[in-house]
Amino acid sequence: MKLGIVGLPNVGKSTLFNAITQAGAQAANYPFCTIEPNTGVVGVPDGRVDGLALMYKPKKVTHATVEFVDIAGLVRGASRGEGLGNRFLSHIREVDAIIHVVRCFEDDNVIHVEGSVDPGRDMETLNLELIFADMETVQKRGEKARKLLRNGEKKYQEEADAADKMMATLESGQPARLCPLTPEEHEITKGWFLLTDKPVIYAANVAEDELGKPAPDLPLLKTALARAEKEHAQSVIISARIEEEIAGLPKEEQAMYIEELGIGESGLDRLIKASYSLLGLISFLTAGEDECRAWTITRGTRAPQAAGKIHTDFERGFIRAEIVPYPTLMAQGSMAACREKGLVQSCGKDYVMQDGDVTLFRFNV
């Protein structure tokens, strides 16, 4: 899973990236301190993997991973190449989903590229730049389809219709993901790699002393959440500075600090959970003395295809999957106890994998 962190300059984007990846990207108080995107790979926090590790004491423990990409701050006019905009837009095309960091804090020491803090305006500015870039793409696709239609190639009628629908949506200021397409049209437009077709999570970045306060008491935050809701987009409230503080602590002290703050879990955990939900991802687990590991798959994946994530031979020679839900395994204390009590499911090719399935694949090639 590859997540692109975007936002206007000086909204806390690189500070958040540094905190969640501890990669040390530049976070300066001026636009375009980041030009090439920084990338960082982080393990997905998953207590189930840790629980299996305690049970099996394996040689190796492997969590699922997420790649975060810190994409340089976009500015008004980016779709026309302003502020190296075209390079930034091309980086967005390469990610699975977008984390749009929105500044919801006042700080006289951190300049704002627009001169004032206004989350609604900032969200609209960035969204419009992506929409403008998409309009250019859709226009070219539509013109090409109509040209081929005039040459007698009737199969391009559906593509021309999809382009017209998409252009109408974009011209109304709506992102491509809200365009009412048929399943066939959606398959066509998927190949256009539109920026606003990517799923979005808004990360509302609040000041340290505002994290945990009710949104109605914070006008800037309230504006950002209302805008996200209007777009049917997910939102997560974070404080990039607090994430930076958490990241700077030893592992054993992080949980204690989070508890002291009363925020339940870190912003990283919340962002990853929201991203998994947004992209329809789940994890199944494998466990043994050699390794305990989480594997990321799309919700709805059947057992043979899940086996193929481990090795293509597992899918090719799939016989069955032996599965115990993680809570059942933990309650019984061992796989042997689960077998004795008949709690291990023997699943065939049609079995749809569930989140937290502890799985042993049987195969023969």
Question: In the numeric block, which tokens belong to residue 181?
Answer: 């397409």
Distance CA 308, CA 315 (A): 5
Supply the pLDDT for residue 75: 61
Supply the pLDDT for residue 24: 45
What confidence tens digit (pLDDT) does each residue in 26-59 have?
443 333 334 456 788 888 888 999 999 999 999 9
pTM of the complete model beyond 0.75? yes
Side-chain half-sphere CA neighbours of 21 within 13 A: 23
Q: In whole angstroms, how far apart are CA 209 and each of 105, 108, 178, 350?
A: 10, 16, 35, 51
Supply the pLDDT for residue 42: 84
In contact, 41 and 64? CB cutoff 8 Å:
no
Supply the pLDDT for residue 25: 41
Instruction: Enumerate residue ranges in the chain where pLDDT < 70.
Output: 23-37, 72-88, 111-114
> Which of 191, 195, 182 is closest to 128 using CA atoms?
195
> Which of 247, 293, 291 is closest to 269 using CA atoms?
247
Q: Cα Rg for the chain, rounded, in angstroms?
A: 23
> Which of 169, 159, 221 is closest to 196 using CA atoms?
169
In contact, 6 and 126? CB cutoff 8 Å:
yes
Supply the pLDDT for residue 36: 55
Supply the pLDDT for residue 77: 64
